[in-house]
């Protein structure tokens, strides 16, 4: 039979493994621990999904501002919005919530508010008069039952139209399209000149952007709200909405056959290189142009809307504050909330993120040409609108996206699309 020594060797190996596994944490963590232990300020662990170079630089501004105010910033970055939010929800449920967590300006955290799992930031909100300071779509999602549950960080506009000056010149387009017919005419001219008229990445969220652009520019503010906020079946079945869907599908004739699945920044690269004429994308695309050393109004242009009063579709990011009784954590939350809305932090963050500050009273002179356009438009409250996720629950928004992408990619008739959208939003 087999002798004991073999077993002894195995036992020794096991013991060694356990010893190694129980080894103290890595040096990287140790340094952070030392730093954290050294300072006494309120400690805020923040979960967010800003992991790229530009985003990282932007969130560092917030971290620095928080540190300057005396706090300790503990960074927990998790790429991918839904994964980050999943971790947040699971940690709240698991009893180990972060001090603050990133969500989009949307109904994503509505259920969490309903369950009473968030602290409110009413003191900061009232002290800084958020009702007056912030745009109405933002207030509508962060204010529930009269209490404020999130602090907004920025405002992105979802449906900017970026165009390459070189491509426009080659196609003989003299001035920026200022209406929907002019927009399609410009697309036709680009096509005739052999340039890809519309750079597009075939992913559901990007298709939803195209749809939103058509709904807001062609359908107008009233139809937009009737469909997305009221979810009125009559509005969805109306001829006006039908036209919007047809215009959306018409855009497909202007994208190149390689578009399915393409990442948004690869589409932007097409515009940067002059291979494509236009792209409809949020203002985070500016970072790509800047990285390619292009300057707004010189190599590229940005159009906010296709009508003088075209809606400005706002989306953005907020921090929420999971419920806690820990006095230090409460202090950290309040400090973080006030730091985030401070004008300096707003400017520094938005500059690096490509967004626009949430406050209407910031000094816009430092921003680039496109951001200045955005800030100017923001002053007109009648143009404030939210993107679909501001009005719809995540489930409804997702179901809408499913229909839109199916309509884009298959031979679905427009009537069927209308029917499916009504069903999706009717949940």
Within positions 281 to 340, which residues make up the interface with other proteins, using CB under 8 A?
282, 284, 287-288, 291
Are 358 and 316 in contact, with CB atoms under 8 Å apart?
yes
Nearer to other proteins, 42 or 177 (CB): 42
If one asks whether residue 115 binds other proteins (CB under 8 A), the answer comes out as yes
C-alpha distances (whole Å) from 20 to each of 15, 84, 257, 372 are 9, 31, 54, 56
Nearer to other proteins, 264 or 321 (CB): 264
Alpha-carbon span 45 to 132, nearest angstrom: 30
Alpha-carbon span 223 to 232, nearest angstrom: 10
Cβ at position 266, least distance to other proteins in Å: 8
Nearer to other proteins, 52 or 309 (CB): 52
If one asks whether residue 83 binds other proteins (CB under 8 A), the answer comes out as yes
Nearer to other proteins, 220 or 394 (CB): 394
Cβ at position 293, least distance to other proteins in Å: 13
Are 227 and 241 in contact, with CB atoms under 8 Å apart?
yes
Nearer to other proteins, 221 or 419 (CB): 419
If one asks whether residue 25 binds other proteins (CB under 8 A), the answer comes out as yes
If one asks whether residue 96 binds other proteins (CB under 8 A), the answer comes out as yes
171-210: contacts with other proteins (CB under 8 A): 202-204, 207
If one asks whether residue 389 binds other proteins (CB under 8 A), the answer comes out as no
> Site for other proteins (CB under 8 A): which residue of 65, 85, 312, 391?
85
C-alpha distances (whole Å) from 208 to each of 24, 212, 241 are 48, 6, 15
Residue 109 dihedral angles phi and psi, to the nearest 5°? -100, 15
How many amino acids of this chain bind other proteins (CB under 8 A)?
Answer: 86
If one asks whether residue 169 binds other proteins (CB under 8 A), the answer comes out as no
Nearer to other proteins, 128 or 203 (CB): 203
Residue 281 dihedral angles phi and psi, to the nearest 5°? -160, 160
Nearer to other proteins, 103 or 148 (CB): 103
- Copy the structure tokens of residue 191: 């096509």
If one asks whether residue 2 binds other proteins (CB under 8 A), the answer comes out as yes
Contacts of 389 (CB under 8 A, 6+ apart): 104, 106, 107, 108, 315, 397
Neighbours of 285 (CB within 10 A): 23
One symbol per residue from 40 to 69: x for binding other proteins (CB under 8 A), - otherwise; what is it?
-----x--xxxxxxxxxx-xx--x------
Cβ at position 106, least distance to other proteins in Å: 11
Alpha-carbon span 281 to 213, nearest angstrom: 9
If one asks whether residue 28 binds other proteins (CB under 8 A), the answer comes out as yes
Strand partners, 150: 320
Cβ at position 148, least distance to other proteins in Å: 20
Burial 81-95 (b: 16+ CB within 10 A, else e): eeebbebbbebbeee
> Site for other proteins (CB under 8 A): which residue of 123, 222, 297, 395?
395
């Amino acid at each position: 039979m087999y002798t004991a020594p073999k077993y002894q060797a195995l036992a020794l190996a096991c013991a060694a493994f356990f010893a190694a596994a129980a080894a103290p944490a890595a040096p990287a963590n140790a340094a952070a621990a030392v730093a954290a232990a050294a300072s006494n300020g309120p400690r805020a662990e923040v979960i967010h999904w800003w992991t790229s170079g530009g985003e990282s630089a932007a969130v560092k501004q917030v971290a620095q501002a928080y540190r300057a105010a005396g706090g300790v910033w503990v960074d927990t970055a998790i790429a991918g919005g839904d994964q980050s939010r999943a971790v947040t929800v699971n940690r709240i449920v698991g009893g180990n919530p972060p001090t603050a967590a990133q969500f989009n300006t949307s109904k994503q955290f509505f259920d969490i508010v309903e369950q009473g799992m968030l602290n409110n930031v009413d003191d900061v909100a009232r002290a800084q008069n958020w009702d007056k300071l912030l745009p109405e779509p933002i207030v509508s999602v962060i204010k529930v039952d009269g209490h404020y549950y999130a602090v907004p960080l920025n405002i992105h506009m979802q449906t900017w139209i970026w165009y390459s000056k070189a491509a426009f010149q080659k196609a003989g387009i003299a001035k920026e399209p200022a209406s929907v017919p002019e927009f399609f005419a410009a697309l036709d001219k680009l096509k005739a000149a052999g340039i890809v008229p519309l750079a597009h990445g075939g992913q559901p969220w990007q298709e939803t952007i195209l749809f939103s652009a058509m709904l807001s520019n062609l359908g107008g503010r009233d139809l937009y709200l009737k469909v997305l906020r009221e979810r009125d079946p009559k509005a969805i079945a109306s001829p006006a909405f039908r036209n919007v869907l047809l215009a959306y599908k018409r855009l497909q004739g202007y994208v190149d056959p390689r578009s399915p699945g393409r990442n948004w920044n690869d589409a932007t690269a097409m515009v940067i290189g002059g291979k494509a004429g236009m792209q409809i994308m949020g203002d985070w695309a500016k970072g790509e142009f800047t990285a390619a050393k292009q300057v707004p109004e010189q190599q590229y242009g940005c159009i906010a809307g296709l009508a003088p009063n075209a809606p400005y579709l706002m989306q953005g990011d907020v921090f929420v504050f999971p419920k806690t009784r820990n006095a230090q954590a409460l202090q950290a939350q309040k400090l973080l909330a006030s730091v985030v809305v401070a004008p300096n932090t707003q400017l520094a963050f938005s500059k690096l993120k490509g967004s626009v500050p949430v406050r209407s009273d910031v000094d816009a002179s430092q921003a680039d040409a496109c951001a200045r356009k955005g800030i100017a438009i923001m002053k007109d409250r009648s143009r404030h609108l939210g993107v679909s996720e501001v009005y719809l629950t995540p489930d409804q928004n997702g179901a809408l996206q499913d229909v839109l992408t199916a309509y884009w990619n298959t031979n679905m008739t427009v009537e069927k699309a209308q029917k499916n959208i009504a069903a999706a939003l009717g949940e």
